[in-house]
Structure 1
Amino acid sequence: MIPTILDGYVRGDREFFRGHAICHDATELEDVDRFIDRIMPFMNLYQDLLDAGVDWLAEAAAACNRRGVSPWVSIRMNDYHGHKNLEGSFFNVPLLKNLEMRLKHSAYSPSMYEPGYRTGLNYEKAEVRDLMMAQIREVVEDYDYEGLELDWWRQPLCCEPNASSETIEMMSDWLREVRALTQRRAQETGRPFPFGLRIPSQLETLKSIGLDVVTLCQEGTIDFVKPSGFWCTSWEMPHDTLRQKLGERVAIYGVMELGANPLPTYAPEIDYTHHIRYFTSNHEMMRANAAGKLVLGADGIEWFNFYCTDSAHIPGLISDYTALSGMGDLDKLRGQPKHYTFSMSGHGLVLPPYEVTPQLPTTLGKWWNRSFRLPMCAEPGDRGLELVIQVVLKVGDPDEILPVAFNGCWPRLEHAATNELLYPCGCLTQLTLAHQGYNFRFPVELVRDGWNEITIENGNEESLTIVCIELAIRPIET
């Protein structure tokens, strides 16, 4: 019997959820009770379906089919939402309670963000592989799905690091068994059944934990991959380089994650500061992130965590589902306003060593200069658009002489200081008091398809910190 998240739950049993409260940082009694007050009604909705005999996994596939959508299913390979209480959180698969089934060496530094977050199930154990294969077999053979994704970003934990060639081949054989399942299903239904992985882009790091993605793609075991960031979307995902490594036969999709980056921003109307922008509230950011992936050769766009903006219940911060239409069409994106930014290092929101290494924040000493690369799409020159580059510094940093160049043009000194974001993200419209923005204007014709380069020079006597760089394609100011 495959375990489920509500095994053992009796409606109204508050104690069933108490052990998970610490995973939401609720430790005081009042906070724990408030957490239970929130989660129990939500989980009761699923209990309602169970009591009524409704299989929501089957209903999801049926709903897609009624609307002409090919239903694919995604399985998290090492979900760790209950990692702060492995014994007591109802989120955890029972096998996690067994220390012998868990990884012991994935946390490579004692000072890293929550080393315990890296101690998930160890796929070197046959019991772990058997459990996950049973789940995979059930959704492939017993449901009407037409594609399978194994999600190795929740979490990127597989085997112990520095896996041997024998361990890597063992995992490859296991994934070939999954491929055989999907091929048999395709033969039974007469429909293709694509099989792929959602993964970090650091392919050698994945191989170190047992996942030889390059070989699996090149030999035809894998039909598609979805390289992504952990919680923040990637703005510099090297789709062009990944194509060179993985070959032409595999589809490589661009993934848009919920978070823009860890730049905190401010909503003056509700006097609220948020540590991250949920950019499903920002059409311009969505267009820019999609364009930066498509222009490097992404075969399509996948959204991840789109709904989480709404679940945060922040006034004025709402996901706009109408914006999903057309995000995979680069031609339609050209000529529309966009808001690019850069990936940033950020405590808990970026998960090294699996991420594309962020270029920001960074420090420039006196007379230092530095270049930053970002994929963008070229824009038509007849739409009345311009490029605005916003350099975000720490408040108090020297700002008088700050030459900025774009794609090798002559550096510009003229700028306008501002605390306004280039485009609002729902209710979030301003930088926080800790930061100051400086806007530089350039002709939109300088933007080219593919990688673009921003060069910043510190001409001041003192060092400064470039916290972030943001770029807007927007109507020319008059």
Structure 2
Amino acid sequence: MQLLLRRLFPTFLISLLPFGAGAATPAATDAGLATYRAERARLAARPRPVICNNDGNDFQKVTEVSKAVFLAARTTGLENTRVAAISYCTNHSWGLFSHPTKIGSVIHDPIPHSTGFSTDILARYLDAGLDPLAMMVEFGKAHGIEIFWSLRMNDTHDSNPGLYGPGFLAANTLKTAHPEFLLGTPEKKPRHAGWTAVNYALPEVRDYTFRFLEEVCQNYDVDGVELDFFRHRAFFKTTANGEKATSGERAAMTGLVRRIRAMTEREGLHRGRPLLVSMRVPDSVAYCRDIGLDIETWLTDGLLDLLVVGGYMQLNPWATSVALGHQHGVPVYPSLDESRLKDNDARKLRSSLLAERGRALLAREAGADGIYKFNYFNPRSPAWSELGDPAALATQNKDYFASIRGLGAWTQALPHLPYTTIPTLCPDAPLALEPGAKRSVTFLLGDEPALAGQTIRLRLNFTNVVPSSTRDLVVSVNGARLARAESGGRWLTFNLTGERGAMLRKGENRVTLTLASSAPEALTWTDLHVQVRYAGSK
């Protein structure tokens, strides 16, 4: 019966039938569905110290057609780490994929060589029967690692006029055949979206997105699917023009999410194993709502199993998202994306393993169930093991900052800064300190201070010359005045080791700068960096 239905009706219409219609098993019974959902909840709760996101560009890193070579580029080695799940993306803009599809386009369709994005190697892999997504599923099963297929809900890399953008767009038959799907044109670009973003207010766009997911769930033995709403965050013309999404737009997106959830249940019952649904969204309920994502309703109605929060910007403390997810029994994974600060030195400091350790420990101290790594491609990095072990992190060297992400990156979306509730201090977002003025910034410390064998240094950076003494500048931590600063370059360093570390506390700390009225000039405070070092650690 199920096969007959698939022949008589378009695939996406079957999803509109009552749950389980046409199934060859009694899966749609209340008892069967309850058993399925209980098993799904058990799988959702399994430990995932680290989730690795792979953007699917492995094929751009190889020149030889070989499964072993392909996996070695970004995957082999993860099996011996704390990585419990891989979120694998094979769509390179909405409708364009690197796995075989009958609904969208495959990226090895002709792409101009001038784009600088070689696609011949992918064609050779597919011609040899080596499907990137199938190889990842096989790898996951061989090593007990979950594989989620990640769908970027509105990826607009094809809006980039340089690099591979024009080639991606030319290869995308859906977008080229249906310009009415798009939020803009090359001549009339929206203010807050890539012009090639699709308009989710259109039923046809929602249907195609549904079918992309359904096709993968029917053709690949993945453990789940991920709806990545972070790439990219424009879904409607209202938000693309700087306005908040309407209730009707939120309802349309929620309707799509419900269809996807029902489809995963139907397909999971059909194959006899649950399909999990993960979602990657901004870490603010208010911001999600205003771009058209009713995450509170989705959680309340049980439409997702894993919640991944954050990305190129962080809007709230991680504890806020953890409380939201845990309130509904959903595990939460902060996305620790790479820093994209414009200042090279500041970006390098935040990209070190020391900084990664600090970020990971803070996420776990906030109650997160694990961490999610995005755009981190070396499968042999020690980070994959270290960042998933909070007990080991506790006594490893680390760096902390007032802000990792600063003002955040990727502006082609509804502006997010009005929703930001955490510090943004960094060279991209400095604070001016006029004579007679006082400025305060908080930072989070994941370590217990004042431990034996521990050294802690607080470093403050300024764009202009640091006063040669602390006479004009008073620095205090949690109300306690600091003294005996060391000056080097544009950094002012305070040693908070031993008894002096008692003024610090695990968790939030406040640093206050007061510049004397008699100071000869204003200061521009650009960074706050805390070094925690342990004897015997690297």
TM interval, short-chain normalised:
0.7 to 0.9
Instruction: Letter of the 1:17 partner, please give it.
Output: H
CA distance in 2: counterparts of 1:239 and 1:131, whole angstroms: 33
Instruction: Letter of the 2:339 partner, please give it.
Output: G
1:283 counterpart residue number? 353
Instruction: Letter of the 2:424 partner, please give it.
Output: Q
2:109 counterpart residue number? 8
1:393 counterpart residue number? 462
- Deviations along 1:24-65, one digit per CA (max 9) or x if unpaired, are xxxxxxxxxxxx3xx32xx33212202212111111011111
366-375 or 396-405, larger mean C-alpha shift: 396-405
Aligned partners of 1:376 and 1:449 also within 8 Å: yes
Larger CA Rg, structure 1 vs 2: 2
- Deviations along 1:394-413, one digit per CA (max 9) or x if unpaired, are 033656433322233x1114
Aligned partners of 2:468 and 2:487 also within 8 Å: no
Query: Structure 1: which 5+ runs fail to align?
Result: 10-14, 21-35, 266-274, 311-318, 420-435
Residues 1:324 and 2:381 aligned together: no
| 1:164–1:347 CA distance, 2 compared to 1 (3 A) | closer
Q: CA deviation at 1:445?
A: 4.7
Instruction: Letter of the 1:301 partner, please give it.
Output: I
Residues 1:78 and 2:154 aligned together: yes
Q: How does 1:224-373 map to 2 (within 5 A)?
A: 224-230=306-312, 234=314, 237-246=316-325, 247-259=327-339, 261-265=341-345, 276-277=347-348, 282-307=352-377, 321-341=381-401, 342-343=403-404, 345=406, 353-354=415-416, 356=420, 358-360=423-425, 361-373=430-442
CA distance in 2: counterparts of 1:325 and 1:237, whole angstroms: 27
2:249 counterpart residue number? 167
Q: How does 1:153-164 map to 2 (within 5 A)?
A: 153-159=230-236, 160-161=238-239, 162-164=244-246
Quick one: which of 113, 138, 145 aligns to 1:17? 113
- Deviations along 1:114-161, one digit per CA (max 9) or x if unpaired, are x56366111001221122111111222211111221111110111233
Q: CA deviation at 1:442?
A: 1.2
1:472 counterpart residue number? 531
Residues 1:415 and 2:475 aligned together: no
Per the normalisation by structure 1, the TM-score is 0.76
Q: CA deviation at 1:222?
A: 1.7
Aligned partners of 2:466 and 2:492 also within 8 Å: no
Aligned partners of 1:262 and 1:277 also within 8 Å: no
Instruction: Letter of the 1:472 partner, please give it.
Output: Q
CA distance in 1: counterparts of 2:205 and 2:431, whole angstroms: 42
| 1:203–1:94 CA distance, 2 compared to 1 (3 A) | farther
Per the normalisation by structure 2, the TM-score is 0.68
Q: CA deviation at 1:178?
A: 0.8
Instruction: Letter of the 2:384 partner, please give it.
Output: L
CA distance in 1: counterparts of 2:215 and 2:335, whole angstroms: 26
2:138 counterpart residue number? 62
Q: CA deviation at 1:187?
A: 2.5
Residue 382 of structure 2 aligns to a residue whose secondary structure is helix
Q: CA deviation at 1:5?
A: 4.3
2:491 counterpart residue number? 437
Instruction: Letter of the 2:291 partner, please give it.
Output: I
Instruction: Letter of the 1:288 partner, please give it.
Output: G
Quick one: which of 113, 120, 143 aligns to 2:197? 120
Instruction: Letter of the 1:411 partner, please give it.
Output: R
Residues 1:455 and 2:516 aligned together: no
| 1:402–1:328 CA distance, 2 compared to 1 (3 A) | farther
- Deviations along 1:60-89, one digit per CA (max 9) or x if unpaired, are 011111011121121111111121349972
| 1:402–1:5 CA distance, 2 compared to 1 (3 A) | farther
Instruction: Letter of the 2:337 partner, please give it.
Output: E
Instruction: Letter of the 2:433 partner, please give it.
Output: L
Instruction: Letter of the 1:289 partner, please give it.
Output: R
Residue 297 of structure 1 aligns to a residue whose secondary structure is coil
CA distance in 1: counterparts of 2:347 and 2:173, whole angstroms: 33
Instruction: Letter of the 1:305 partner, please give it.
Output: N
Instruction: Letter of the 1:334 partner, please give it.
Output: A
| 1:184–1:448 CA distance, 2 compared to 1 (3 A) | farther
Quick one: which of 150, 153, 156 aligns to 2:227? 150
Residue 154 of structure 1 aligns to a residue whose secondary structure is coil
Query: Structure 2: which 5+ runs fail to align?
Result: 1-101
Q: CA deviation at 1:365?
A: 1.5
- Deviations along 1:148-192, one digit per CA (max 9) or x if unpaired, are 211111101112332222221121111011111222233234434
2:55 counterpart residue number? none
CA distance in 2: counterparts of 1:445 and 1:378, whole angstroms: 12
How many residues are paired up?
Answer: 406
Aligned partners of 2:157 and 2:165 also within 8 Å: no
Instruction: Letter of the 1:243 partner, please give it.
Output: V
| 1:372–1:211 CA distance, 2 compared to 1 (3 A) | same
CA distance in 1: counterparts of 2:317 and 2:511, whole angstroms: 17
Q: Which has the higher helix share?
A: 2
CA distance in 2: counterparts of 1:60 and 1:147, whole angstroms: 13
| 1:4–1:403 CA distance, 2 compared to 1 (3 A) | farther
Aligned partners of 2:460 and 2:528 also within 8 Å: yes
Residue 231 of structure 2 aligns to a residue whose secondary structure is coil
Q: Percent identity?
A: 26
Aligned partners of 2:125 and 2:131 also within 8 Å: yes
| 1:333–1:383 CA distance, 2 compared to 1 (3 A) | farther
Q: CA deviation at 1:237?
A: 4.5
